[in-house]
Amino acid sequence: MPKIDLTKIPLKTGSGYPGKLAATMDGRAQQAVGDAGGITQFGANIVTLAPGALSSLRHWHEQQDEILVVLQGKLTLVDDTGDTQLRPGDVAAFPAGDSNGHHLINRSDAEAKFFVVGTRTETETGWYSDHDMKVTADQSGFHFTRRDGSPLPGSEP
């Protein structure tokens, strides 16, 4: 059955960010709708943001295209150019290799949702715009380091 039963897809909360940064993702819940539907070539998720929540830390991808469409509520897209308001039906695209780091913030007092798709690649590097941090991804998982590749100290961001 191609239709995804959203009531059966777990809401994934929490974050893989190291140390105190993990808590910055409080209020975010993700549903892996692509995985649930047997899609493997790209990731597709429905992300729900409580008031005040962030989609991620502001970042950009070296190799992976990303696109999203707002499904519900009001969201603020933050990138190098400042703030842009998004409403249901609005689309934002983030081409691979474009170093204009981005994330969404729910600055409203109501829950907001968006649908987001990103390419899957065997390896990837993502760069964080507002932190001395990058992430490298490979088959063993996600590895967060400083921008120069040195370890992040303990639980400190």
Point out which residues bind a copy of itself (CB under 8 A): 1-4, 6, 33-34, 36-42, 44, 46, 64-65, 67, 69, 71-72, 77, 79, 81, 84, 86, 88-96, 98, 100, 102, 113, 115, 117, 119
Q: For residue 74, what are its two tokens?
A: 């009001």
The DSSP H or E segment spanning 115 is strand 112-119
**Which C-beta is closer to a copy of itself: that of 25 or that of 75?**
75
Q: For residue 85, what are its two tokens?
A: 């308001």
Query: Who's near 89: CB < 8 A, 6+ residues apart?
Result: 69, 70
Q: Least distance in Å: CB of 79 to a copy of itself? A: 6
Phi, psi of 60 (to 5 degrees): -145, 160
Q: Least distance in Å: CB of 103 to a copy of itself? A: 11
Nearest C-alpha neighbor of 142 from the set 65, 34, 57: 57
**Which C-beta is closer to a copy of itself: that of 23 or that of 93?**
93
Q: Least distance in Å: CB of 148 to a copy of itself? A: 27
**Which C-beta is closer to a copy of itself: that of 24 or that of 98?**
98
CB 150 within 8 Å of CB 136: no
**Which C-beta is closer to a copy of itself: that of 6 or that of 23?**
6
